[in-house]
Amino acid sequence: MKYTDALATLSSLGAELPKGHTTVTGVRKFSLDHIRALSQALGNPQNRFPSVLIAGTNGKGSTASTLASIAAAAGIRCGLYTSPHLERINERIRVSQPRETGSSLEEIPDAIFGSLVERVNSAARLLVEQSVLPHPPSFFEAMTAVAFCYFADEGVELAILEVGLGGRLDATNAVEPIISVITDIGFDHMEYLGDTIAKIAAEKAGILRQDGVLVTLSQHQEANYAIGEIAVALNVRGVDAARCLPGTRLVAPDPASERQLARLDSPLGRNRYDLSLDGEILHIDSPLSGPHQQRNIALAIATAVELRTNHGFAISNEAMEQGVRDTVWPGRLEWLPPRLAPDGRVHAPLLLDVAHNPAGAWTLRSALSLLPPTMPRTLVFSCLAEKPVDEMMQVLLPLFDSSSGDPDRAGDHVVLAPIQSPRAASLEELEAAARKLDVPFHAAPHVPAALAQAEAVTPSEGIIVVTGSIFLVGEARTVALAERKPQAVPAIGKKL
């Protein structure tokens, strides 16, 4: 099957998260029975490699990518499965290269992706014909099956799997993880997971196994209780990642440095700090910005130590340092430097963040507080209709309110635009939410126009913050990277 045909086949399976759980065949109930039947028809590829399964509301992708980078740096043939993607669907499925060719995690090639979609689709079609399955698998079930097959075919020694939704009934939970990891839990997807932290946490704790291992950090009291109750019932051994947290805050780069003056590096800085681990000092230098990432880095390191100590994986402290340093996870407080336009004007840098729920919005708000207060700011915002748009705007828009009377905010702007998704909030819905807050805004018909408008109103010494949806960040990132040539930008950072 050609790559384009594979994309069309997956698209025919419906949206990744259909509203109300409905499909063309009627109501689809969440169940592991379908992915298990499909996996069995494919030869149970998920049983041919050990897995680490990571659930949570926020931070699970950052934790997964950091852990996979550590494993790759240690020379482990590692598979990484994450969702959703920013720009290309291949991003979801990656495998590290052999030790002699480096430790990077590379996307599944188009040709192999096409052949595996055909293999999964053929198996599913036969199961439907035999009435083993009542209907074709969902988009996410099919993608998960493709990842299982690819990892098995590639002979991965360890798979790092990010849960798509919840945990208990997520397709990734078809594996038998050697370690389960639970990141921070908050309110999201409540129509699927429940309307309380306790209910949501219980769904996430569905990735735990009898006599298994859980790596986590203390968090919301209700979440701690719900997870702890299930862990005790299953006789799970808990690993507290708190010892892998730093005792000090991140160290921002020197604003007088050459790269900072050229605005090539983010003013938010990298996470740099030292940890004492088993009597040795571990030097942490992560490209993932923001204090909140320290919790995700801690979870990844604690899991790596558990893999080394109790599961036979040779992961040195040096590999942990290199893996953390080499982590690639775009769209998370990602800094895109200024660009030089054809007319000679320098356009402001972009800060891309996929904050797509209230907890993510608060985390972004905290990170923005680290910016120089006099830096002019423009917000490009959009989100999905199913998200609490009013609450997210209440968190973020006041930081860009040019009518607030704060002289530092007098030059700020807000630009709203719909995203390319059937689940997107309409421009009218976004505008109505902004009017409730009485914050001035501009409206754009689509994301490229929103970026152009933001660049037009933001001075070169300012910043454009793009956030509210993974779909928005993915679309904006594609447009921005096609235009940016940071090496041609003169130093302007003295205005910070």
What is the DSSP pairing of strand 280-286 with strand 271-277?
Answer: antiparallel
Span 91-131, pLDDT tens digits: 999 999 865 545 589 999 999 999 999 999 999 999 999 99
3-state secondary structure of 342: coil
Q: What is the pLDDT of residues 33-78, one digit of tens each?
A: 999 999 999 999 999 999 999 999 889 999 999 999 999 999 999 9
Mean pLDDT of the chain: 89
Whether the predicted pLDDT of 489 surpasses 90: no
Q: Which residues pair with 353 in a beta bridge?
A: 467
Q: What is d(CA 486, CA 346) in angstroms, rounded to the nearest whole number? A: 10
Residues 6+ apart with CB under 8 A from 403: 438, 439, 440
User: What pLDDT, on a 0 to 100 scale, did the predictor assign at position 494?
Assistant: 33
3-state secondary structure of 335: strand
Q: Is the pLDDT of residue 253 over 90?
A: no
In this predicted structure, the answer to whether residue 28 has a pLDDT above a threshold of 60 is no
Please provide residue 308's backbone torsions phi and psi, each rounded to the nearest 5 degrees: -70, -45
What per-residue confidence (pLDDT) applies to 313?
97
Residue 466 and residue 379: Cα distance in Å, rounded? 6
Phi, psi at residue 442, to the nearest 5°? -110, 155
Which percentage of the chain shows pLDDT scores above 90? 78
Which secondary-structure segment (H or E) carries 259? helix 258-261
Task: Answer yes or no: is pLDDT of 30 > 70.
Answer: no
DSSP string, 344-404: SPEEPPEEEE---SHHHHHHHHHHHTTS-TTS-EEEEE--BTTS-HHHHHHHHGGGG-TTS
Residue 206 and residue 382: Cα distance in Å, rounded?
Answer: 32
pLDDT band for 190, please (50, 70, 90 cuts). low
Question: Does 334-495 match 3-249+291-325 at the fold level?
Answer: no
Only one residue has tokens 């209440």, namely 394
Considering only CA atoms, which of 150, 120, 152 is closest in space to residue 138?
120
Strand spans (E) along 69-152: 78-81, 93-96, 105-107
Range of lowest pLDDT (123-137, 171-185, 246-260, 350-364): 246-260
| pLDDT at residue 366 tops 90 | yes
Beta carbons of 90 and 108 less than 8 angstroms apart: yes
Q: Supply the pLDDT for residue 53.
A: 98
Residue that is written with structure tokens 């923005």 in the block: 368
> Pick from 237, 212, 230: which is nearest to 52 by CA?
212
Domain ranges of the chain: 3-249+291-325, 334-495
Query: Which tens digits make up the pLDDT trace of 425-470?
Result: 999 999 999 999 999 999 999 999 999 999 999 999 999 999 999 9
Question: In this structure, are strands 339-340 and 334-336 parallel, antiparallel, or unpaired?
Answer: unpaired
Among the listed residues 422, 439, 243, the one whose alpha carbon sits nearest the alpha carbon of residue 430: 439
Cis peptide before 45 (omega within 30 of 0): no
Q: Where are the alpha helices (DSSP H) in 138-187?
A: 139-153
Whether residue 378 has pLDDT greater than 90: yes
What pLDDT does 363 receive?
92
Task: Please state which CATH number belongs to domain 3-249+291-325.
Answer: 3.40.1190.10
At residue 195, the pLDDT reads 72
CATH number for 334-495 (one of 3.20.20.140, 3.40.50.300, 3.90.190.20, 3.30.230.70): it is: 3.90.190.20
- Give the pLDDT score at 254: 55
Residue 266 pLDDT: 80
CB atoms within 10 A of CB 238: 12
The residue among 197, 152, 189 whose CA lies nearest residue 169 is 189
Q: What is the DSSP string of 13-62?
A: T--SS-GGGEETTEEPPP-SHHHHHHHHHTT-GGGGS-EEEEE-SBSHHH
pLDDT tens-place string over residues 199-215:
999 999 999 999 999 99
pLDDT of res. 496? 30
Q: Look up the pTM and report it.
A: 0.90
